């Protein structure tokens, strides 16, 4: 089964750390750590963060598929 993966880019100059995107992210891929927004590697390119960011500070920059080993 191919699984959709993504990657986001954060523009720290625009990001106001409002904590909207981390709460919209379905995979908990985003978090504000010590006053800075960080992204992990769990992005599935759902675009929620990009759409709801009021400050145009986060964008999905890559979408790709990974093959997951068949189970069962």
Partner 1 sequence: MEDTTRFKRFLKEKNLPTPWCPGCGNGIILKSTCDAFDELNLDTDKTVVVSGIGCSGRSAGFFNLDSVHTAHGRAIPMAEGIKIANENLHVVVLSGDGDLLGIGGNHLLHASRRNTPITIICFSNEIYGMTGGQVSPTSKQGAKTITTPDGCKDTPINVQALIKAHNCFYARTTTFHLKHLKKCIVEALRHPGLAFVDVICQCIVNNGRRIGFKDGYDMLMHYKNTYKINENADLLKEGEIGITKVGVVK
Min separation Cβ 24 and partner 1, Å: 7
- Of partner 1, ligand SF4, none, which one sits near residue 23, judging by CB under 5 to 8 A according to partner kind? partner 1
Report the C-alpha gap between 31 and 58 in whole angstroms.
Answer: 13
Q: Which of 5, 31, 45, 59 binds ligand SF4 (CB under 6 A)?
A: 45
Element (H or E) spanning 51, and its range?
helix 48-52
Catalog residues that contact partner 1 under the rule CB under 8 A.
13-14, 16-20, 23-24, 47, 50-57, 59-60, 62-63
Element (H or E) spanning 38, and its range?
strand 36-39
The angle subtended at Cα 23 by Cα 22 and Cα 25, nearest 5°, is 65
Report, in angstroms and rounded to the nearest whole number, the Rg of the chain calculated over CA atoms. 13
* x/- track of binding to ligand SF4 for residues 52-71 (CB under 6 A): -x-x-xx-x-----------
Q: Which of 5, 20, 31, 59 binds ligand SF4 (CB under 6 A)?
A: 20
């Amino acid at each position: 089964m191919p699984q959709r993966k993504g990657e986001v880019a954060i523009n720290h100059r625009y990001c106001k750390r409002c904590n909207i995107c981390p709460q919209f992210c379905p995979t908990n891929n985003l978090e504000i750590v010590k006053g800075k927004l960080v992204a992990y590697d769990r992005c599935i390119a759902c675009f929620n963060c990009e759409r709801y960011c009021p400050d145009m500070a986060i964008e999905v920059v890559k979408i790709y598929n990974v093959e997951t080993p068949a189970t069962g």
